Structure 1
Amino acid sequence: MFTLEGIEKLKKNKSRSINPENPTGAAGEGGKEGSDLGPSRKGSPMIQIKSGETLTLAEIEGPGTIRHIWMTVTDATIHGSFVLRDLVLRMYWDNEETPSVESPLGDFFCNGFGTRCDINSMPIVVNPSGAMNCYFPMPFRKKARIEITNEHEGDIDAFFYTINYTVEDEIDDDTAYFHAQWRREKYTKEAKDYTVVRNIEGKGHYVGTYLALTALERYWWGEGEFKFYIDDDEKYPTICGTGTEDYFGGAWAFHKKHKDGVIRSSTYNTPFLGYAFQSTEDHTRDNFPTKDSIPTHGFGRDALPMHGLYRWHLPDPIRFDEKLTVTLQQIGNDDIKLFERADDISSVAYWYQTMPHQPFPKFPETKERRPR
């Protein structure tokens, strides 16, 4: 975990940066592209990604460590308003054939539902308007490759990115690799726990969860407990929480009495815990780039209740020696008693582990990722 401790110490590693004007990160090659303003004046700050195209954003020879990723893109085109779910981010370490990171772009940055929201946490920061930042360190020994795939129905005319990294002399033997995996169940099953991640195999530590829950039933949705099955755990987990809002650092259904006297859930952003997004409104029209492209069907803006939450296990990582499974119960409360419920849940699990990793489940197609 980063602190200011030791910031004054000199290091042997070398700083490099990749962006559209210096796609290889080579020393002394930044800012060479020209524009109407003249030579070396902001000539290529962005790239275009055609529909169906996969582009390599970075391919870096190791050893090294990615230190910071910044990206931004429109969240809608005239072809649709779910760009943040239609773009897929993948990362590969050391020439592996299957990705260690695989997620819709928005969800990786804790912006689920194809909708932007501000995130003010330590490893993930999303600033107005849609500036997505990641500070998870991502070490690699031989090579790093970062790809973006456009599964949107239209071309993306402007995708901006910067990837800051350091070139290292070597990576210590006890350094693990960064992983992130997106999952979704459009209809969870009553009395069957939702799987956040299953059967991680290797030695490592779990560092975070992003949860995007769309409530399909009324009443309070957050009584379910997060469970961490570590190593030899089978029927019962080693770590089990006391409720969903408790896991994300809140309490009593996030309720707060507001100035108008009404008690309602309150959102919050903190370095390690957040309930960053809560909405019952369809923001589709807000996303469209021009007024002329806004649909005029007049169907209204009501939407099912959506809840976006994050929890970073940075001061309290979940360590495992052999394997790890993480699940979430789906339990509600109707103000009288608990009840089993079914909702629409998606999530991103973040962890570090030794290699090789287990291949991820087949990534859902675009229509299966579409928000409600």
Structure 2
Amino acid sequence: MTKFNGLGMHLGNLSRLSSAKSRSISAENKTGAPGKGGMATEGTGAVAARDLGQGWKISPSIEVDCEETVTLADINTGGAIQQIWITKMGPKNRDLILRMYWDDQEYPSVEVPLGDFFCCGLEQYAHVNSIPVSVNPGLAFNCFWEMPFRKNARITLENRDPLQKAVIYYQINYTETEVGDDCAYFHAQFRRTNPVPYKEVYTLLDGVEGQGQYIGTYMTWGVNNSGWWGEGEIKFFIDEDDEFPTICGTGTEDYFLGSYNFDIGTAVPGNPKSYTEYTTAYAGMPEVQRPDGTYRSQQRFGLYRWHIPDPVRFENKLKVTMQALGWRDFGNWGGDTNMRRYLPLQDDISSVAFWYQTLPAVKFPDLPDRDYMEVN
């Protein structure tokens, strides 16, 4: 039988033995070295543990100064990250930038604001209960994406806030093991366009070079018009696709595995509820911000879709776009469908595209400055 390297874990292989080595990096063991956890004598918990001594939660967290970048993990062996838990105090979610580098690459393969990476881009807590990402009370960010590497892995966190330091609690669980030749590298890229120009499409991903598969999307959507906003189609331009894509969706809510405006009232006569939040294994809309009649004037939504059973595979190139599309004179058709006309929207859209691909890592477009990133 082929030696099991401990990757690709699921219920069906939990009983299999492997020589893979379990490791964990946190503020209590910053290197992940075996037998070196809980040894701190200084840290953010030192005062609280002053009567207890070494081994009693001396260093449960780290502080990240204003406009500082810290290294959360620096692993110099082959293996894979298997789970990340992180929570924070201080700056806004989008003022904290998560980056990941694989195998001595100059450019990061992951560059995403912390909240958006964990499907909480709208700055408020939202419960997420999916297979690769979960967000639990009170603000516990978790991911279970498998992130293989062959030589080394480095994870950093930047605090862009010029006034507030961040307090970060984190645990990065990984394994030291051999990685198969057919394993690609985890990537995630953030983009934002505010507003989307009239009659233009929103681009989630472009400039990908290499072989791989697209595995997921997170989007925040700020609506700037009245009426329904989710008629737009997602398009995947694979390899040599030019003007027209290989994969074309049928509507925004359809892509996120919903229907009929995410509105229970539409599907259930007499039910007045609209815009129903949901969170499932592969898709969800956990974030719905409703106008409050005073200072919160716009609607905002946060949505995710994971392509775990149905990855979008490409050989050398990939481009992904989404149309921002609503209706003109929504609700005034009088039952005559011939009165309908689409309205290209000028909405505030941001996204995280998740995919695996071969190296080298290509430089991403520069992140916007923190003022442009802010949700307000």
TM-score, normalized by the shorter chain, greater than 0.5: yes
Deviation of the 1:190 alpha carbon = 1.9
Deviation of the 1:158 alpha carbon = 1.9
Conserved 8 A contact 1:109-1:125: yes
Residue 181 to residue 33, structure 1, CA distance change in 2 (3 Å): same
Deviation of the 1:64 alpha carbon = 1.1
**Count of residue correspondences:** 349
Matching of residue 234 in structure 1 with residue 242 in structure 2: yes
**Higher percent of residues as strand:** 1
Deviation string, structure 1 residues 39-65 (Cα, Å, up to 9, x no partner): 210000000010010000000012110
Q: Secondary structure at the match of 1:201?
A: coil
Conserved 8 A contact 1:49-1:155: no
The unaligned stretches of length 5 or more in structure 2 are 1-7, 42-48, 334-339
Matching of residue 346 in structure 1 with residue 350 in structure 2: yes
- Residue in structure 2 matched with residue 12 of structure 1 by the alignment: 19
Deviation of the 1:199 alpha carbon = 2.3
Q: 2:113 aligns with which of 104, 107, 130?
A: 104
- Residue in structure 1 matched with residue 69 of structure 2 by the alignment: 54
Deviation string, structure 1 residues 270-318 (Cα, Å, up to 9, x no partner): 0001011101258xxxxxxxxxxxxxxxx95424101000000000000
Residue correspondence of structure 1 range 184-195 to structure 2 within 5 A: 184-195=192-203
Q: Secondary structure at the match of 1:350?
A: strand
Conserved 8 A contact 1:202-1:357: no
Residue 2 to residue 221, structure 1, CA distance change in 2 (3 Å): farther
> Counterparts of 1:276 and 1:142 in 2: how far apart (Å)?
37
Q: Secondary structure at the match of 1:133?
A: strand
- Residue in structure 2 matched with residue 325 of structure 1 by the alignment: 319
- Residue in structure 1 matched with residue 161 of structure 2 by the alignment: 152
> Counterparts of 1:157 and 1:353 in 2: how far apart (Å)?
32
- Residue in structure 1 matched with residue 299 of structure 2 by the alignment: 305
Conserved 8 A contact 1:48-1:155: no
| Letter of the structure 1 residue corresponding to residue 71 of structure 2 | T
TM-score after normalising by structure 2: 0.90
Residue correspondence of structure 1 range 260-299 to structure 2 within 5 A: 261-281=271-291
> Counterparts of 2:128 and 2:288 in 1: how far apart (Å)?
13
TM-score after normalising by structure 1: 0.91
Deviation of the 1:234 alpha carbon = 0.5
Residue correspondence of structure 1 range 148-187 to structure 2 within 5 A: 148-168=157-177, 170-187=178-195
| Letter of the structure 2 residue corresponding to residue 141 of structure 1 | R
Matching of residue 212 in structure 1 with residue 216 in structure 2: no
Percent identical among aligned pairs is 45
Q: 1:132 aligns with which of 141, 148, 153?
A: 141
- Residue in structure 2 matched with residue 201 of structure 1 by the alignment: 209
Conserved 8 A contact 1:193-1:330: yes
Larger radius of gyration: 2
Matching of residue 86 in structure 1 with residue 95 in structure 2: yes
The unaligned stretches of length 5 or more in structure 1 are 283-298
- Residue in structure 1 matched with residue 127 of structure 2 by the alignment: 118
Deviation string, structure 1 residues 87-137 (Cα, Å, up to 9, x no partner): 100000011111000011000000012222111100010001110001000
| Letter of the structure 1 residue corresponding to residue 36 of structure 2 | E
Alignment RMSD (CA, Å)? 1.7
Deviation of the 1:327 alpha carbon = 0.2
> Counterparts of 2:269 and 2:53 in 1: how far apart (Å)?
54
| Letter of the structure 2 residue corresponding to residue 25 of structure 1 | G
